[in-house]
Structure 1
Amino acid sequence: MSEMMPFIMFASVFLLLLLGYPVALTLGGVSVLFGVMTFGLDFFALLPMRIWGTMTNYVLLAVPLFVFMGVMLEKSGIAERMLESMGSLFGRFRGGLALSVVIVGALLAASTGIVGATVVTMGLMSLPAMLKRGYRPELATGTIAASGTLGQIIPPSIVLVLLGSILNVSVGDMFMGAFVPGLLLVVCYMLYIILLALLRPDSMPPVPKDAAGRSGIVWKTLLEAFVVPMFLVLAVLGSIFAGIASPTEAAAIGAFGAILLTLYQRKMTMEVLRAVMRETTWLTSMVFIILAGASAFSLVFRGMHGDTILSNAILQANFQPEVFLAMVMLGVFIAGFFIDFIEIIFIIVPVVAPVFVAFGVDLLWVGVLIAMNLQASFLTPPFGFSLFYLKGVAPKEVTTAHLYRGIIPFIVIQVLMLVLIIIFPEIVTWLPDLLGR
């Protein structure tokens, strides 16, 4: 019976989450209950030290700094300027508006990484324009929702920071490993739109020339909208990739740079600063209270030797590493239909990580695979958060059915990209190995 206790605890947490209980309270409450049952009152002497060790982790300081950077850039109006200039530049081509949404989504992912803000901004600005120009609702909504979630895989990403911390992999290596897959995903989105424009031209008509804007104004706006933010992105990622700064130090550079950029855009006011600080505090507090519950869960699970029991069971079952990887990827993908990506990171990843270590699998490769998989959790119904964000700002004629149908091709693209990375691990490991991880 004692060997079943870790899995009873795991099943209890999962069931309570599906019933709608808050993840932080569920993780903490169930962990305390099973911890007292297993270790007695001595458990309360172990738990504070475990949580304190997690809270003092220097790497995790990057989380509030990257959140601050993203929220500040979102408040600076950079997204609106990018969408306006890209729409004017590419709108005259068939499918150009959709392509501009993908490009802006990728650039915002590299600069802000705030999925909700990106989806809402592009939904408010691009969706009405695309529908007005004759784009099919399914294509317009699918493109916006998928492009808005690129911040999950394109560094700097909070998901990669958390995965690196849990898997004990350098966050800098996680950023380098996810860089090429993220760019390939953007290219695949664009190729799909171009192919669809060739096969079904009526689904995405071009913008008339008189509405596309004058080229001189477009190029001037384009330079203002892209060059300065790209300097910031290069400063953050370049300092990490070159080994000049740690991810936490680079996050501080990004936060300070975001303040300067907002001042340059003349959008900095006390109201904006208060709003940014408030949202950063809220998001950071949410992540860290879940992290505290996850630390308690991990302490109890390992204290009951759940990691050893699971590893031995998998090894004795003679599962090949490829089979176990496929099971984990399928489990994460299915879990993404029902629970949030943070919950998946803090519940499932610590349980399966020791098994991958026992198999001798590269945890950097596994981490990027999980990050790519988790990105789909923002898009998969019924609880895809990007779909909720977009539905909240979409015109009344756009139905939930349009959202669900429109996102299917992009989920298929993500799954195919996941398979491609599994078949060719070099897509992930090439850049980190080149830069000497």
Structure 2
Amino acid sequence: MTAYLDLLMFAALVAAIMTGFPVAFSIAGVAVLFAYLGWLLGVMDISLLGAFGQRVFGLISNQVLIAIPLFVLMGALLEKSRIAEDLLDTMGRAFGQLRGGLGISVVLVGALLAASTGIVGATVVAMGMIALPTMLRAGYDPRVSAGIVCTAGTLGQIIPPSTLLIILADVMSNAYQQAQYEQGKFTVEALSVGQFFAAALIPGLVLVTLYLIYVLVRGALRPQDMPPADLRQPRPSRAEVLGAIVPPILLIFAVLGSILGGLATPTEAAAVGAVGALLMSGARLGRFRRVIVAAAVALILLAVAAGVFPVRLQRGDLGIGSYVAGGAYVGLALIGGLGILAALRNLLADRVIHDAATSTMTMTAMIFATILAAGMFSLVFIGLGGEDRVAHWLANLPGGATGALLVTMAIVFFMGFFLDFVEISVIVLPLVTPTLILLGHDPIWLGIMLAINLQTSFLTPPFGFSLFYLRGAAPDEVTTGHIYRGVLPFIALQAVGAGVVFFWPALATWLPGVMF
């Protein structure tokens, strides 16, 4: 029994999580229990737990992970201020009169919201409350409607910016450095979040394309499943379409453009996104709109001008032009600050900022508590010999490096039926990815393959989170069975998308190679 204590520990973890007890406490509790069990049986050195304090300090001082609460706040502001709702309504009226048009609009809106919020729960709930009733009223099959809404909502996990990619970048960078140390390299390279954002962009668009092709083909072959919407519903004007689409697109360019262009770190870009979402949300509420719009323009001008002509006023050799530019920059910053205060005034008056802050703190606490607990779990698992067992097992699988990857992908997919992406990312992946990198797999390509797999975990019954989110927001006529059956074709499309990236690795490696 003592030889298999690490495997029993993993089985106990799955059982504890399935009881419904809070995940972070389940992980930490199982770790503590098996640490003392291993110590009593003489198979683990309990002093290894002394390294837990270093892991906690490493987590709270990790500059990359600071981006998570900022991106979560950005998405929460867009959701609570109903900007996402306006986008859904406008796109639905624009495409609804086509066969399968509502499905197309939901997929496109899902992609836009994914690139501007990155929060699966908010997107699925918003579309479940707004788009799903519209699709049902138009005569859409409940299974098709539920499947499209669930799947479009999960795009926030693969299209940057996303919390999954931030966590995965940290995990893969650590695994890559560990693999280099084991190869005898002492000058090691690290991987950045920006590289993973760039790598995920094209595969994310490939998945969007696959969804759109499926909706169009199904609309043509089975028109009774996706009939056109009510023709009496007015099509939106060009001004309405631009008013709904342009602000999220500007936010996407501000965040992703600053990261991929090398102008800002992911944390700095997340701060830009949070301020941008704050201004957008404040402007939507009507009061002080001109001040807020002027502030947004001033901040954009400030960012561009400071990048083109930077001024350092503490230097003693500045000319008159530098002083004029510095004064202009100060004026633009003051206008921007005034607009931020006006936006905050609007959001506080309508209690939008209260709801967004509560949502942000809840989700951030869940993610970081899980990462902390996983640090304890991995320490104990390593102390019980689990890491050596996994490395030996992967290295000796038939099929070499490809066989090891396929088996890992199958295990991650199976775990997605029961575990959340955070738990899989911070517990399972640190154990297997160093060995897979040592076997010769490109770490960035490997990370994107795993990201697509983890995105699928949101759709797989019985515990896919998107299924739960939609179940809570869907009308009564949509049953759990409709939701489960509706996502099955899209799970198959996820497998096709993973296969495309598997056979054409350049889809994931070309853009980061060019940009970084």
Normalised by the size of structure 2, how large is the TM-score?
A: 0.80
Cα drift, residue 300 of structure 1 = 2.7
Letter in 1 for 2:51: L
Letter in 2 for 1:195: V
For 2:418 and 2:46, the matched residues in 1 are separated by: 34
Give yes or no for the alignment of 1:61 onto 2:66.
Answer: yes
Letter in 1 for 2:496: L
Three-state SS of the structure 2 residue aligned to 1:58 is coil
Letter in 2 for 1:121: A
1:181 is aligned to 203
- Greater shift, 349-358 or 307-316, is seen at 307-316
Q: Is the 8 A contact 1:197 1:203 kept in 2?
A: yes
Q: Is the 8 A contact 2:259 2:269 kept in 1?
A: yes
Change (3 A) 1:396 1:329: same
1:386 is aligned to 466
Cα drift, residue 256 of structure 1 = 1.1
Letter in 1 for 2:347: T
Give yes or no for the alignment of 1:244 onto 2:274.
Answer: no
Q: Is the 8 A contact 2:97 2:228 kept in 1?
A: yes
Change (3 A) 1:147 1:318: closer
Three-state SS of the structure 1 residue aligned to 2:97 is coil
Letter in 2 for 1:151: G
Give yes or no for the alignment of 1:198 onto 2:220.
Answer: yes
Change (3 A) 1:51 1:2: farther
Q: Deviations over 1:229-251 (max 9, x none)?
A: 21111111011111111111111
2:10 is aligned to 10
Give yes or no for the alignment of 1:231 onto 2:250.
Answer: yes
1:264 is aligned to 283
Q: Deviations over 1:310-361 (max 9, x none)?
A: 2234324555111111111111111111121211112211111121122121
Give yes or no for the alignment of 1:118 onto 2:123.
Answer: yes
Cα drift, residue 5 of structure 1 = 4.0
1:162 is aligned to 167
For 1:43 and 1:33, the matched residues in 2 are separated by: 14
For 1:394 and 1:27, the matched residues in 2 are separated by: 31
Letter in 1 for 2:228: P
Change (3 A) 1:352 1:198: same
Q: Report 1:279-290 matches (<5 A).
A: 279-290=359-370
For 1:55 and 1:45, the matched residues in 2 are separated by: 17
Three-state SS of the structure 1 residue aligned to 2:224 is helix
For 1:325 and 1:346, the matched residues in 2 are separated by: 18
- Greater shift, 67-76 or 268-277, is seen at 268-277
Q: Is the 8 A contact 1:83 1:104 kept in 2?
A: yes
Largest Rg, 1 or 2: 2
Identify the match of residue 157 of structure 2 among 133, 148, 152: 152
Three-state SS of the structure 2 residue aligned to 1:360 is coil
Q: Percent identity?
A: 45
Give yes or no for the alignment of 1:308 onto 2:381.
Answer: no
Alpha-carbon RMSD across the aligned residues, in angstroms, is 1.8
Q: Report 1:95-106 matches (<5 A).
A: 95-106=100-111
For 2:394 and 2:487, the matched residues in 1 are separated by: 35
- Greater shift, 299-308 or 65-74, is seen at 299-308
2:426 is aligned to 346
Give yes or no for the alignment of 1:276 onto 2:356.
Answer: yes
Give yes or no for the alignment of 1:426 onto 2:506.
Answer: yes
Stretches of structure 2 that go unaligned for 5 or more consecutive residues are 174-190, 287-345
Q: Is the 8 A contact 1:54 1:295 kept in 2?
A: no
Change (3 A) 1:317 1:417: closer
Cα drift, residue 17 of structure 1 = 2.3
For 1:73 and 1:66, the matched residues in 2 are separated by: 11
Cα drift, residue 3 of structure 1 = 5.8
For 1:354 and 1:309, the matched residues in 2 are separated by: 13
For 1:289 and 1:324, the matched residues in 2 are separated by: 31
Q: Is the 8 A contact 1:91 1:212 kept in 2?
A: no
Q: Report 1:26-65 matches (<5 A).
A: 26-36=26-36, 37=39, 42-65=47-70
Q: Deviations over 1:277-333 (max 9, x none)?
A: 111111111111111111112223334453234223432455511111111111111
Q: Is the 8 A contact 1:311 1:358 kept in 2?
A: no
For 1:159 and 1:123, the matched residues in 2 are separated by: 22
For 2:135 and 2:453, the matched residues in 1 are separated by: 29
For 1:355 and 1:186, the matched residues in 2 are separated by: 32
Change (3 A) 1:152 1:317: closer
For 1:314 and 1:100, the matched residues in 2 are separated by: 43
Q: Is the 8 A contact 1:88 1:218 kept in 2?
A: no
Q: Is the 8 A contact 2:9 2:30 kept in 1?
A: yes
Q: Deviations over 1:140-185 (max 9, x none)?
A: 1111111111101110000000111111132111111111011111
For 1:330 and 1:94, the matched residues in 2 are separated by: 36
Three-state SS of the structure 2 residue aligned to 1:209 is coil
2:229 is aligned to 207
Change (3 A) 1:120 1:409: same
Q: Is the 8 A contact 1:51 1:296 kept in 2?
A: no
2:25 is aligned to 25
- Greater shift, 331-340 or 387-396, is seen at 387-396
Stretches of structure 1 that go unaligned for 5 or more consecutive residues are none
For 2:398 and 2:271, the matched residues in 1 are separated by: 46
- Greater shift, 312-321 or 49-58, is seen at 312-321
Identify the match of residue 292 of structure 1 among 369, 372, 380: 372
Give yes or no for the alignment of 1:255 onto 2:268.
Answer: no
Cα drift, residue 421 of structure 1 = 1.2
Change (3 A) 1:403 1:228: same
For 1:186 and 1:246, the matched residues in 2 are separated by: 27
Normalised by the size of structure 1, how large is the TM-score?
A: 0.94
